[in-house]
C-alpha cells in the first residue's frame, strides 16, 4: 500500500516503538554452566558489550541453568524453562558443564545429558569447529613448524544430533554375563543436511571437502558416503575426497595443511576436533558454533568445565570470546564486529597469556585481565 512507501514515518515509528518498549537488537541467553563456565562467560559478555558500543547495536541478556548447577537447583540437568528461554532468544552462549560432583548421577541425569538435551531440543544438527593457529601461538603447537607449514585453518563440521550419541542403548546379558549396547544410525536426510552445510562452507573457503567415515566396516558409514557423493553433484566446484577416520586421525598430525573442511559424524567429530584443537596449541583457544535450520545458534568453547581450576581466576576466556565472534558472524549478521574481536585477540596474544598458553617473555594474566585486554584492543 502507499503508506508503506512513505519511508520516513515508518522509520520514525520503528525507532519510537523500540524506545518505548526498550527493545534491544539482540536477546542472548547465557548458559554459564559449571566449573570455569561463569568466569569465562563473564569475560565474553564484557567483550560483546564493548563490541556493541563500537558497532552500534544493543544486546539484552538473560540467564538460564544447564548442567550440574541445574541438577543442584531443580534436580534435572535441562529444566524446561531453559529450553523455552533458549528457543525465544536470538542466540545462546554456553560456558561449560560437568564436574566430579555429579559423576555419580545416573547416565541420563548427568550434566552432559543436559548438553545433549539442549542440542537436540534446539535442533542444533551442525557443529562448526574451526581449528586455526594464532600466529603468536605457533610455538605452543606440539607439531613441528615444518609440518604445520605456513598456517593451519581447518573447519570441522560435526553432525551433532544423530548417530551413536542419540541412538538406542541399553543393558542386556550375553552368555549369562552383563553386557551393554549403543547404536549408530543415520538417515539419508540427516546426512544430506549436514553435507550441504559442509559443502556451502567449502564454497566460501578453499573448496576442498573431506568426508570422514569408517565405510570399510560400518553400514551407516556406507550410507553416509553414498549420500555425500550424491550431494556433491550439486557442488561441482568443490573437490571432494573421502578418508577413513583412523587414517584421518593420523593425517591430522602428519600433514594438517591438506585439510580445508572436514565433515563427519557425531562421534568421529567429537574425537577429531579434540585432536585438531591441540595442533593449534591449546584447547583453551578454540570456539564452536552449533547451528539449526533457523538462524539462532548456540555458541560455546570446545573445552570443558575444568573443575580443577574453577574459581582460581586463571582460566583462558579466549575460546568463549572467540565463540562470541562466531555468534556475531553466523547468527547476528555483524561480521565486522566478529572480525574486530578476532583481530583484537590476535593482538593481545602477542604479549599476554593466561597460564595454559604462557611463554617466557610474555605477561602472565588472569582470566579477567585477559577480558579487559581484549576490550581495550577492540
Contact residues for ligand IPM, defined by CB under 6 A: 112, 115, 270, 302
* Spatial distance between the Cα atoms of 45 and 41, rounded to a whole number of angstroms: 6
- Catalytic residue among 235, 270, 299, 330, which? 270
Q: Is 165 a catalytic residue?
A: yes
Q: Which is nearer to ligand IPM, 158 or 214 (CB)?
A: 158
Beta carbons of 321 and 350 less than 8 angstroms apart = no
Query: Binding segment for Mg ion among 62-70, 230-238, 255-263, 268-276 (CB under 5 A)?
Result: 268-276
Residue 33, φ and ψ in degrees, nearest 5 = 75, -140
Q: Of 43, 79, 119, 35, which Cα lies nearest the Cα of 289?
A: 119
* Spatial distance between the Cα atoms of 102 and 109, rounded to a whole number of angstroms: 9
- Minimum distance from CB of 117 to ligand IPM (Å)? 11
Q: Of 70, 68, 64, which Cα lies nearest the Cα of 83?
A: 64
User: Which partner in ligand IPM, Mg ion, none is near 115 (CB below 5 to 8 A by kind)?
Assistant: ligand IPM
- Minimum distance from CB of 176 to ligand IPM (Å)? 33
For residue 78, the SS3 value is coil
- Minimum distance from CB of 108 to ligand IPM (Å)? 13
Query: Binding segment for Mg ion among 187-195, 267-275, 322-330, 349-357 (CB under 5 A)?
Result: 267-275
Q: Is 364 a catalytic residue?
A: no
Q: Is 246 a catalytic residue?
A: yes
Using CB under 5 A, pick the residue from 34, 90, 260, 270 that binds Mg ion.
270
- Catalytic residue among 80, 182, 246, 339, which? 246
Dihedral of the alpha carbons of 362, 367, 369, 374, in degrees to the nearest 10:
90
- Minimum distance from CB of 248 to ligand IPM (Å)? 17
- Buried b / exposed e along 28-45 (16+ C-beta atoms within 10 A): bbbbbbbbbbbbbbbbbb
- Minimum distance from CB of 102 to ligand IPM (Å)? 12
Q: Is position 300 an interface residue for Mg ion (rule: CB under 5 A)?
A: no
**Residue with the CB atom nearest ligand IPM in the bound state:** 112
- Catalytic residue among 32, 50, 90, 165, which? 165
What length does the chain have?
A: 378
- Catalytic residue among 32, 214, 299, 356, which? 214
Q: Is 62 a catalytic residue?
A: no
* Spatial distance between the Cα atoms of 99 and 103, rounded to a whole number of angstroms: 7
* Spatial distance between the Cα atoms of 248 and 212, rounded to a whole number of angstroms: 7
Give catalytic residues, as residue numbers: 165, 214, 246, 270, 274
Q: Which residues sit at the interface with Mg ion, rule CB under 5 A?
A: 270
Amino acid at each position: 500500500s502507499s503508506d508503506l512507501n512513505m519511508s520516513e514515518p515508518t522509520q520514525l515509528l520503528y525507532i519510537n516503538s523500540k524506545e518505548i518498549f526498550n527493545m534491544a537488537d539482540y536477546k542472548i541467553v547465557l548458559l554459564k554452566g559449571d566449573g570455569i563456565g561463569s568466569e569465562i562467560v563473564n569475560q565474553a559478555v564484557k567483550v560483546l558489550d564493548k563490541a556493541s558500543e563500537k558497532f552500534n547495536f544493543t544486546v539484552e541478556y538473560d540467564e538460564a541453568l544447564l548442567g550440574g548447577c541445574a541438577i543442584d537447583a531443580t534436580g534435572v540437568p535441562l529444566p524446561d524453562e531453559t529450553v523455552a528461554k533458549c528457543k525465544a532468544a536470538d542466540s545462546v552462549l554456553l560456558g561449560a558443564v560437568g564436574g566430579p560432583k555429579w559423576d555419580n548421577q545416573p547416565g541420563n541425569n548427568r550434566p552432559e545429558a543436559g548438553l545433549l538435551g539442549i542440542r537436540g531440543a534446539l535442533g542444533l544438527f551442525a557443529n562448526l569447529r574451526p581449528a586455526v593457529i594464532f600466529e603468536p601461538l605457533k610455538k605452543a603447537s606440539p607439531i613441528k613448524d615444518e609440518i604445520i607449514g605456513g598456517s593451519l585453518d581447518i573447519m570441522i563440521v560435526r553432525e551433532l544430533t544423530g548417530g551413536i550419541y542419540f541412538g538406542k542403548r541399553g543393558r542386556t546379558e550375553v552368555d549369562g554375563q552383563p553386557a551393554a549396547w549403543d547404536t549408530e544410525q543415520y538417515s539419508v536426510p540427516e546426512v544430506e543436511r549436514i553435507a550441504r552445510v559442509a559443502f556451502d562452507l567449502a564454497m566460501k573457503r578453499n573448496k576442498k571437502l573431506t568426508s570422514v567415515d569408517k565405510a570399510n566396516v560400518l553400514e551407516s558409514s556406507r550410507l553416509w558416503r553414498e549420500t555425500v557423493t550424491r550431494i556433491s553433484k550439486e557442488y561441482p566446484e568443490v573437490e571432494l575426497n573421502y578418508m577413513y577416520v583412523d587414517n584421518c586421525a593420523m593425517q591430522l598430525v602428519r600433514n594438517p595443511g591438506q585439510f580445508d573442511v572436514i565433515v563427519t559424524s557425531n562421534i568421529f567429530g567429537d574425537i577429531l576436533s579434540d585432536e585438531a584443537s591441540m595442533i593449534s596449541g591449546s584447547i583453551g583457544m578454540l570456539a564452536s558454533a552449533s547451528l539449526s535450520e533457523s538462524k539462532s545458534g548456540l555458541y560455546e568453547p570446545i573445552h570443558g568445565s575444568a573443575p580443577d581450576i574453577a574459581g582460581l581466576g586463571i582460566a583462558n576466556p579466549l575460546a568463549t570470546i572467540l565463540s562470541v565472534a562466531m555468534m556475531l558472524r553466523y547468527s547476528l549478521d555483524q561480521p565486522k564486529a566478529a572480525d574486530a574481536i578476532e583481530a583484537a585477540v590476535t593482538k593481545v596474544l602477542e604479549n599476554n597469556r593466561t597460564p595454559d598458553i604462557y611463554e617466557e617473555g610474555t605477561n602472565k594474566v588472569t582470566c579477567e585481565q585477559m577480558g579487559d585486554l581484549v576490550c581495550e584492543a577492540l
